[in-house]
């Protein structure tokens, strides 16, 4: 079920009413939200619910076994078994076909035939499996680390399936959501920050339905569909355009998700913080998909050794984390290369900061010209990497890169002033001071009830008028 649809509006209206009517009855509320979340998930394909239920059962059972076993060795064994089982589900549905084709291609290259045949139909790829798998893993690992206690079965089921975050995040950890589920009877609708929720939801709709859709149809989709037909100016605009498209698409989704959760009385963590203002790739990952970045840091990078140890070990840990992070996004070599680009870039950044430290200089120059140069270089590396992220094949990605540097002077009919203006505007908005948004929210709060309704009605009219017919699925649904 897509957020910007009439179906979801009706669904959410029913859930909103039931959610607040059942506040005095915690068990009934949990059952109601659980059923609603499964209906939401089954809307795309009812078969998905069995996988979600199986993953939830693994998460609950693993958490209980890890949390209630006194022996350290046994606890570690149950942790490993649960992690392997969770990753096996993810690997089967998401990576088996990719790995089978890779092995088949390698064997054929050396003259050997008879490699495994992919058995998984990618057309029924379970939406959101990466997100709820990572949530399940963090829950069990946190119990093992004694930073979280095992929760009741119904609470775990709600945690794993809560529909605002289910399909594309943000990745909410047990320590963030489970206490709110346990205290569900203490929510007070009079304390809802309705203006903030409205800003998030309508802002998310505008980013997804208007900005992302326009940039995609105007420049990104035509160029990526057949890279060999387009010149360097079109490819450059498509690269910048995709930077805008994926940000508006994904941050728009999470804004709507966070806003919907707020209307139900729940707080989700922030997922984006003006990522294209970053001054380095490390800074970019502190701002982009922050719940995934922190997950990779806490459950992969630091357990590998983090920044402790030798410099080669540091570079190894960065590369392993970023390549696996790339593979998390999709079962394809394009995603592996995308992750590797970010890994190499971060290693280079660490080397540069270490070199400056040896010379007694600060990690980065803070002069205005240096700051803007750092932002420009970082944004262009990120945009170049996006070419691999969105390309259908590795060949298409390298075709885009090659033509980007070799076909200047060719015709560029897709480079039109409205497209350039939208891309520049969308990027420029990230440099808007936070105080501007706060003042706008404050002004909205001061409006009367009727005026607020009129403003929201106009906003909805703008979105539906400027948006295309129909709504394309969110990009991160495929991950």
Mark out the alpha helices in 265-407 (DSSP H runs).
281-287, 290-296, 302-304, 311-329, 333-358, 368-390, 394-406
DSSP state of 332: S
Phi, psi of 151 (to 5 degrees): -100, 160
**Type and span of the H or E element at 80:** helix 72-94
**Rounded Cα distance, 240 and 230, in Å:** 15
Characterise 309 by phi-psi region: left (phi > 0), alpha (psi -120 to 50), beta (else).
Answer: left
The count of other CB atoms within 10 Å of the CB of residue 254 is 26
Question: Which one, of 385, 378, 301, lies nearest residue 339 by Cα?
Answer: 385
DSSP state of 279: S
130 within 8 A of 476, measured Cβ to Cβ: no
Q: Which residues are catalytic?
A: 329
Q: What is the phi/psi pair of residue 23, to 5°?
A: -55, -40
In whole angstroms, give the CA distance from residue 200 to residue 190.
19
Distance separating alpha carbons of residues 444 and 456, to the nearest angstrom? 10
Neighbour-count burial of 402, counting CB atoms closer than 10 A to its CB (0-12 exposed, 13-18 middle, 19+ buried) = middle
Non-local CB neighbours of 65 within 8 Å, separated by 6+ positions: 78, 82
Q: How far is CA 438 from the centre of its chain?
A: 25
* Rounded distance between C-alpha atoms, residue 80 and residue 85, angstroms: 8
Residues 192, 128: Cα–Cα separation, whole Å: 28
Query: Are residues 324 and 292 in contact, defined by beta-carbon separation less than 8 angstroms?
Result: no
Half-sphere exposure of 477 (CA within 13 A, CB side): 16
DSSP letter string, 171-224: ---HHHHHHHHHTGGG--GGG--HHHHHHHHHHHHIIIIIIIHHHIIIIIHHHH
């Amino acid at each position: 079920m897509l957020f910007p649809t009439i179906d979801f509006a009706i669904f959410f209206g029913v859930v909103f009413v039931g959610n607040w009517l059942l506040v005095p009855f915690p068990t009934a509320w949990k059952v109601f939200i659980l059923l609603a979340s499964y209906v939401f998930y089954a809307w795309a394909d009812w078969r998905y619910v069995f996988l979600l239920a199986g993953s939830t059962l693994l998460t609950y059972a693993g958490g209980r076994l890890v949390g209630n076993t006194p022996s350290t060795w046994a606890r570690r064994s149950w942790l490993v078994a649960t992690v392997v089982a969770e990753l096996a589900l993810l690997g089967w549905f998401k990576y088996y076909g990719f790995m089978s084709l890779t092995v088949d291609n390698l064997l054929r290259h050396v003259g050997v035939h008879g490699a495994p045949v992919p058995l998984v139909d990618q057309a029924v790829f379970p939406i959101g499996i990466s997100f709820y798998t990572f949530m399940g893993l963090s829950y069990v690992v946190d119990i093992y680390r004694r930073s979280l206690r095992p929760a009741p079965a119904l609470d775990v089921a709600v945690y794993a399936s809560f529909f605002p975050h289910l399909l594309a995040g943000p990745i909410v950890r047990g320590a963030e959501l489970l206490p709110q589920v346990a205290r569900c009877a203490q929510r007070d609708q009079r304390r809802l920050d309705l203006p903030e929720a409205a800003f998030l939801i309508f802002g998310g709709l505008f980013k997804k339905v208007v900005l992302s859709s326009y940039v995609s149809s105007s420049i990104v989709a035509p160029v990526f569909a057949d890279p060999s037909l387009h010149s360097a100016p079109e490819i450059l605009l498509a690269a910048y355009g995709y930077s805008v498209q994926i940000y508006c698409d994904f941050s728009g989704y999470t804004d709507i998700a966070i806003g919907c959760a707020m209307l139900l009385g729940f707080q989700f963590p922030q997922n984006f913080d003006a990522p294209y203002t970053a001054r380095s790739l490390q800074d970019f990952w502190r701002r982009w998909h922050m719940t995934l970045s922190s997950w990779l840091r806490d459950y992969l990078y630091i357990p590998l050794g983090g920044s402790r140890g030798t410099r080669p070990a540091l570079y190894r840990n960065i590369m392993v984390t970023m390549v696996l992070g790339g593979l998390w996004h999709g079962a394809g070599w394009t995603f592996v290369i995308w992750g590797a680009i970010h890994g190499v870039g971060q290693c280079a950044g660490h080397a540069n900061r270490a070199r400056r430290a040896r010379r007694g200089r600060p990690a980065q120059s803070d002069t205005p010209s240096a700051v803007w140069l750092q932002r420009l270089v970082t944004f262009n590396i990120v945009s170049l990497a996006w070419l691999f992220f969105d390309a259908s094949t590795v060949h298409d990605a390298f075709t885009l890169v090659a033509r980007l540097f070799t076909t200047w002077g060719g015709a560029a009919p897709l480079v039109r002033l409205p497209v350039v203006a939208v891309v520049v505007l969308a990027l420029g908005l990230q440099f808007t001071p936070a105080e501007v948004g706060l003042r706008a929210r404050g002004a909205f709060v001061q409006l009367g009830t009727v005026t607020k309704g009129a403003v929201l009605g106009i906003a909805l009219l703008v979105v539906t008028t400027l948006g295309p017919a129909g709504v394309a699925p969110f990009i991160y649904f495929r991950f």
